[in-house]
Chains A and B, each alone.
Chain A
């Protein structure tokens, strides 16, 4: 996904004179960015390892009418300078595009300092951010083009975790399979594990790679096909991140909701991303146990 991001961004820089990329060393050496920096030295800006400055600079670029992309490893991009994200975009009446790599534990060997399961939850604390979670490298370019062409602020969360095939969702919750006992919403790379976990279960599986704004009306339409409002959210970031939105959508309907995702614990553990999926119950076996327990309490 990172390669698609850097090459598509380089292509967009050739065609969008107001696009600028701001980096804090991470990915500055990517071949596509090296070439783009040579072609557009004023619009590919590596600030060095300075994340507060990176977000402030992106905000300042936006205030002059540029469309900034700021990019780094997820915890450094989102958490280290969160006050800058809060104040230097929306509060200024400005907007930009933030693109992260690393996700919740892509570099499992790197440990907790490089894990960012709480990023999407943080964007839910400030207004009007759109969130894109591609589930496949082929979903990255469209999400990036839409974000660059938009006037809204976007957070695009790239991951090494991918589904086997891309899906075209156009901002909606798209059913992959229909069933009657529950609707399982899979966000981004969680789709394939969810499909594997529910292969022989009588559930609807719906996919989105644009969880913000959340497609509440799409969820309600899917639930209208079921006898009971049973919802299972499966997100590749902090468990419960979208609970408030599903609860809002179903506030006037008696419903049951299970939220699966990454736990809060600092496991002080390394291994691989597959290991962390298993420890957080996000591998097909873990998902299947949680889903069948929910369906047959």
Chain B
């Protein structure tokens, strides 16, 4: 079994909330994007979770954590047996990630629309300390982009050319109202570069994530199959 297959199996077996059973594809749809980030992109390991110059992954969309926890476990950030007790009284893993409890988790999330503003602050904080190379990658959902706080972050990051910022929009077509011009338009209108790829094509996803341009924040829309 490949590492990815192992992560997928872990994610599938992880029960976040037994009272709300969901089809597997709905429970783990961000898996491809998170896997590709940790497997091919992010300069961070279990040994460097506190390093000032690490790349940072912010799981803004915290309410689908099974895939995130599974990747962290497969990559050695947390023990795999933690995933058998998500939400338990003694568990560090909740139905939303808590950074104060889980090694490698960069932000506590759950309420939508906090990841991109926090990420803008992290880019600015690293830049003020001379750390101009590390990337800050933020996973947001297409529905989450409805939150106004994201619009503030997208406009400011574009206007000031925060090239260390990469937004990863996992598009499972959950926004209440379709984005009439497509997912990338509002980013591009604000000066971001963009790419749109199928989640399942890991090589293309990695290429898209690495295709950053100087002077521009970057967005990658990772689509999931129609009907998810």
Whether chain B is bound by chain A comes out as yes
Q: With A83-B111, A87-B114 in contact, do A61 and B152 touch (Cβ < 8 Å)?
A: no
Q: How far is the CA of A42 from the CA of B126 in the complex (A)?
A: 10
User: Which of the 9-residue segments A52-60, A149-157, A174-182, A221-229 touches chain B?
Assistant: A52-60
Q: How far is the CA of A65 from the CA of B129 in the complex (A)?
A: 9
A57 touches B108 (CB 8 A): no
Beta-carbon nearest neighbor of A58 in chain B = B121
Residues of B with C-beta under 8 A to A42: 124, 127-128
B122 touches A93 (CB 8 A): no
B124 touches A63 (CB 8 A): no
Beta-carbon nearest neighbor of A48 in chain B = B156
A72-90 contacts to B, CB under 8 A, are 83-84, 87-88
Which of B123, B124, B148 counts the most chain A CB atoms within 10 A? B124
B120 touches A53 (CB 8 A): yes
B101-121 vs A, CB cutoff 8 Å, 1 = contact: the mask equals 000001110010110111111
B121 touches A50 (CB 8 A): no
Q: How far is the CA of A28 from the CA of B106 in the complex (A)?
A: 30
A47, CB-defined interface residue at 8 Å = yes
B40, CB-defined interface residue at 8 Å = no
Q: With A42-B127, A65-B52, A92-B107 in contact, do A52 and B149 touch (Cβ < 8 Å)?
A: yes
Residues of B with C-beta under 8 A to A48: 155-156, 159
A53 touches B153 (CB 8 A): yes
Residue among B106, B108, B156 making CB contact with A91, cutoff 8 Å: B108
B contacts with A, residue count (CB < 8 A): 30
A63 touches B121 (CB 8 A): yes
* Interface size of A as a range: 20 to 34
A52 touches B148 (CB 8 A): yes
Q: How far is the CA of A52 from the CA of B114 in the complex (A)?
A: 9
A196-208 vs B, CB cutoff 8 Å, 1 = contact: the mask equals 0000000000000
A288, CB-defined interface residue at 8 Å = no
Which of B100, B107, B118 counts the most chain A CB atoms within 10 A? B118
Q: With A53-B149, A58-B121, A87-B108 in contact, do A64 and B129 touch (Cβ < 8 Å)?
A: yes
Residue among A50, A52, A61, A84 making CB contact with B122, cutoff 8 Å: A61
B149 touches A84 (CB 8 A): yes
B125 touches A63 (CB 8 A): yes
A64 touches B111 (CB 8 A): no
Q: How far is the CA of A12 from the CA of B140 in the complex (A)?
A: 36
B178, CB-defined interface residue at 8 Å = no
A131, CB-defined interface residue at 8 Å = no
A60 touches B108 (CB 8 A): no
Q: How far is the CB of B187 from chain A (nearest CB, A)?
A: 16
Residues of A with C-beta under 8 A to B124: 20, 42, 45, 57, 60-61
Residues of B with C-beta under 8 A to A60: 117-125
Q: How far is the CB of B152 from chain A (nearest CB, A)?
A: 4
Q: How far is the CA of A68 from the CA of B121 in the complex (A)?
A: 10
Residues of A with C-beta under 8 A to B118: 56-57, 59-60, 63, 88, 92
B99, CB-defined interface residue at 8 Å = yes
Beta-carbon nearest neighbor of B101 in chain A = A93
A20 touches B153 (CB 8 A): no
A43, CB-defined interface residue at 8 Å = yes
Residues of A with C-beta under 8 A to B120: 53, 56-57, 60
Q: How far is the CA of A57 from the CA of B114 in the complex (A)?
A: 10
Q: How far is the CA of A55 from the CA of B118 in the complex (A)?
A: 8
Q: How far is the CA of A62 from the CA of B129 in the complex (A)?
A: 12
Residues of B with C-beta under 8 A to A132: none
Q: How far is the CA of A47 from the CA of B151 in the complex (A)?
A: 13
Residues of A with C-beta under 8 A to B125: 20, 60-66
Q: With A50-B152, A52-B148 in contact, do A64 and B126 touch (Cβ < 8 Å)?
A: yes
Residue among B99, B149, B156 making CB contact with A92, cutoff 8 Å: B99
Residue among A47, A58, A61, A87 making CB contact with B111, cutoff 8 Å: A87
A92 touches B126 (CB 8 A): no
Residue among B100, B152, B159 making CB contact with A52, cutoff 8 Å: B152
Residues of B with C-beta under 8 A to A66: 125, 128-129
B121 touches A56 (CB 8 A): yes
Beta-carbon nearest neighbor of A45 in chain B = B124
Residues of A with C-beta under 8 A to B106: 63
Q: How far is the CB of B218 from chain A (nearest CB, A)?
A: 18
The 3 A-B pairs of least Cβ separation, nearest first, read A60-B121, A56-B117, A64-B125
Q: List 7 A-B contacts (CB under 8 A).
A: A50-B155, A56-B116, A56-B118, A59-B118, A60-B121, A63-B118, A64-B126
